[in-house]
Amino acid sequence: MKTIQFREAICEAMSEEMRRDESVYLMGEEVAEYNGAYKASKGMLDEFGEKRVIDTPIAELGFAGIAVGSTMTGNRPIVEYMTFNFSLVGIDQIINNAAKIRQMSGGQFKCPIVFRGPTASAGQLGATHSQAFENWFANTPGLKVVVPSNPYDAKGLLKAAIRDDDPVIFMESEQMYGDKGEVPEGEYILPIGVAEIKRKGEDVTIVSFGKIIKEAYKAADELEKEGISCEIIDLRTVRPMDRKAIIESVKKTNRLVVLEEAWPFGNVATEITYLVQSEAFDYLDAPIVKINTADTPAPYSPVLLKEWLPDYEDVIKAVKKVLYK
């Protein structure tokens, strides 16, 4: 095992797949000459050249369309968005083309493409740069949505995403690119659609994904001092969702808290809540609690932003609520 940063795990995954398959290429704003806005493609231009690591204009709709079209000629593009907030400019290509090519062509065309970049808030970046769209994309049949929380998962899942014959939305975080973690020296791939129990527990199940799961870890450490045992599930993949892992955990703990950095209406946590009440209702000893951001655009003020964003204290309150403590 070696210890590397999240950004290095992303770079390794892309580079290894590009060495393996000449049809894989990377395109996006500043991915080449600048080594990536977050240095996640450092050194790739030097190794693969400008035909496979392509700097684009600030025109998400345009380069998303070029990438989607190129899948029909045998290519496997990786499209980097500087932030998924900017993907909204190109969302027509993602929703109306990438997600539907296979069905609308009667299976004649597949669309092996990865749209990747950071999601959700990253400090004081204001309302239009601090949004989480996992549930938007997960609502679309034809798309897979992956949201890793550490370097190991990021590398293994990104390699799987690049090899997938369907479009994959791969969502990272600006606040995780510097995170360090252990990654195997040799090649490995993690299956899309499989969650992982990051921490075993007996009293309550906490389901989360992405960078916000760190708050669940902090809460679990504090609650353990009070004798409360938390089981933490990292979804890793929002769609397809590992429903079995969630249900089996809830059947054991009989209580569920869902932590998600997203607005509260119609989000991933809502889907999980429906899943559990429909398939494991008789196992619940308390109503499910979901923790989300406030139902407003993200504020710029650091004081307001702290109140807007869920933290470990919110998780502790939620766990004690389902435990009636």
Q: Which residues are catalytic?
A: 60, 129
CA pair distance 258, 289, nearest whole angstrom: 6
> CA-CA distance, 44 to 12, in Å (whole number)?
10
Residue type present at position 61:
L
How crowded is residue 260: how many other Cβ atoms within 10 Å of its Cβ?
29
DSSP state at residue 10 = H
Question: How far apart (Å, rounded) are the C-alpha atoms in residues 9 and 176?
Answer: 11
- The CA-based diameter of the chain, rounded to the nearest angstrom, is 60
Give the helix ranges, DSSP H, for the chain. 6-20, 44-48, 60-71, 91-92, 101-104, 134-138, 151-163, 213-224, 243-253, 268-279, 302-308, 312-322
* CA 262, 267, 273, 276 torsion-angle sign: negative
Residue 286 tokens read as 């308390």
Answer yes or no: are the C-beta atoms of 59 and 31 closer than 8 Å. no
